[in-house]
Amino acid sequence: MRYDFDRVVERRNTNSIKWDFIEEIYGEKDLLPLWVADMDFQVPREVVTAIKERADHAIYGYTGRSPQLYQAIIQWLDRRHNWKIKPEWIDFTSGVVTGLNVAVQAFTKPGDKVIIQPPVYQPFKNAVENNGRQVVFNPLKMENDKYVMNFDDLADKCDSRTKMLIFCNPHNPGGRVWDKEELQQLAEICVHNDLIIVADEIHSDFVYPGHVHTPLASISQKIAERTVTCIAPNKTFNLAGLTTAAVVISNQTLRQEFAKIIENNGVKTNIFGLTAMEAAYTYGEEWLEQLLSYLKDNLDFLMEFFQTQIPQIRPIQPEGTFLVWLDCRELKLDQQHLTELFTRKAKVALNDGAWFGVGGEEFVRINIGCPRSILAEGLQRIKQAVNTL
Ligand SMILES: Cc1ncc(COP(=O)(O)O)c(C=O)c1O
């Protein structure tokens, strides 16, 4: 079946955070939403059918996880990422962010240090600080318009209170799909310093040609033993509103500690999330392949648009994800004026780079998971606003 990603589906008046809550968040009306990481595409037909069939049963009591669901996850990770896992390694949460918080509570104590690598998805920092742990920054370095990890700094920042690294693979917002050598170097430091690694791999299914996602835990037995991997169909299949994610932990002791916190906090999943997850991982591959090709064309379109029409803003070429990190430093605007430029003048809602922490200032993030006509409209608006400077 051919999916039509060009089709614009009205999302206003569906309580969409991306479309309906802009005014509350940005204080402005009529912004074109190119921000929060969900996509303006309808999900695979088989997912809708599975949800409808489940809904038609009309009894929604407490629901467990079927063997078919476990198999769908296992086969997906094997087929797409060459990662072989066992059913007993899998647990479930109500989202990847929940998984991060559970992991912090399970494997660290109040006052312990947890490392993150900014600029990075802000809930990493929140998961550390809101649980009374200390956040330690190991900022990424930009080399030739590409983010790399600073391994010397990482090793230096490990002391006896440092217990965990929360790692983003692929990286949001930097767009890096970390390669095997980088993962190996990272793994060595984590093993040497006895760190638990929480690998947020929610963006792993979005990888552009020429790059391959490697699950951190697949690098070696040693690293698998200390890795907690969070995955979800939420980004891949646009199911964020169904709030269901999986966590893969091969180390039995860690898995039991994780499960204890899940139970203590009453973390649950819901019928429709589980149903959608199984259907997406079982039947969604054809849809995803077409989506990836569409996103690549969107990306090429955006890269060329900035190069030829708004050269003052430089997109960092992403290797994965449907998010593009825009370097606005040449505009020489402080954060407030940058926000005004995009929000008041261009009338587009983008994510403010400062939200991603250290190194995010003077950057913004744009979401290309939308029909090209919407992206083109957004880029035109940005061009016109920049031309007024
Ligand atoms: C790196 C990363 N982790 C987690 C999430 C959110 O995941 P969830 O909605 O499953 O909590 C996002 C959403 O943008 C993300 O980019």
How many angstroms is it from 18 CA to the middle of ligand 1? 14
Contact assessment for residue 331 and residue 341, using Cβ atoms and an 8 Å cutoff: yes
Where do the domains of the chain lie, and which CATH numbers do they carry?
A: 17-44+286-387 (3.90.1150.10), 59-283 (3.40.640.10)
Contact assessment for residue 205 and residue 281, using Cβ atoms and an 8 Å cutoff: no
Number of C-alpha atoms within 13 angstroms, CB side, residue 182?
18
Ligand 1 atom closest to Cα of residue 323: 16
E strands in 7-129: 32-33, 90-93, 113-116
Q: What is the pLDDT, as a whole number, of residue 80?
A: 98
How many angstroms is it from 202 CA to the middle of ligand 1? 6
How many angstroms is it from 97 CA to the middle of ligand 1? 6
- The 3 state secondary structure assigned to 220-250 is CHHHHCCEEEEECHHHHCCCHHHCCEEEECC
* DSSP, res 263: H
How many angstroms is it from 234 CA to the middle of ligand 1? 8
How many angstroms is it from 172 CA to the middle of ligand 1? 9
How many angstroms is it from 384 CA to the middle of ligand 1? 32
Which residue from 202, 206, 321, 324 has its CB within 8 A of the most atoms of ligand 1, so it is best to mutate? 202
Q: In what order do the strands lie in the sheet with 351-352?
A: 314-316, 323-327, 363-367, 351-352
Q: State how far the Cα of 250 lies from the Cα of 143, in Å rounded to an integer.
A: 35
- Residue 288 CB neighbours (<10 A): 18
Q: What is the pLDDT, as a whole number, of residue 1?
A: 83
Query: Which of 374, 382, 323, 380 has its CA nearest to residue 5?
Result: 374
Q: pLDDT digit of tens for each residue in the chain (389 aa)?
A: 899 999 999 999 999 999 999 999 999 989 999 999 999 999 999 999 999 999 999 999 999 999 999 999 999 999 999 999 999 999 999 999 999 999 999 999 999 999 999 999 999 999 999 999 999 999 999 999 999 999 999 999 999 999 999 999 999 999 999 999 999 999 999 999 999 999 999 999 999 999 999 999 999 999 999 999 999 999 999 999 999 999 999 999 999 999 999 999 999 999 999 999 999 999 999 999 999 999 999 999 999 999 999 999 999 999 999 999 999 999 999 989 999 999 999 999 999 999 999 999 999 999 999 999 999 999 999 999 999 99
Query: Which of 378, 385, 371, 375 has its CA nearest to residue 8?
Result: 371
Q: Please return the burial class of 17, using the count of CB atoms within 10 Å of its CB with bins 0-12, 13-18 and 19+.
A: middle
Q: Which residues line ligand 1 (CB under 6 A)?
A: 37, 95-97, 121, 168, 172, 200, 202, 232, 234, 240, 245
Q: What is the pLDDT, as a whole number, of residue 335?
A: 87
Which residue from 92, 171, 172, 213 has its CB within 8 A of the most atoms of ligand 1, so it is best to mutate? 172
Q: State how far the Cα of 117 lies from the Cα of 166, in Å rounded to an integer.
A: 8
Q: What is the pLDDT, as a whole number, of residue 321?
A: 98
Q: Residues with Cβ < 8 Å from 168, sequence gap 6 or more?
A: 117, 120, 121, 124, 200, 203
Which H helix or E strand runs over 365? strand 363-367
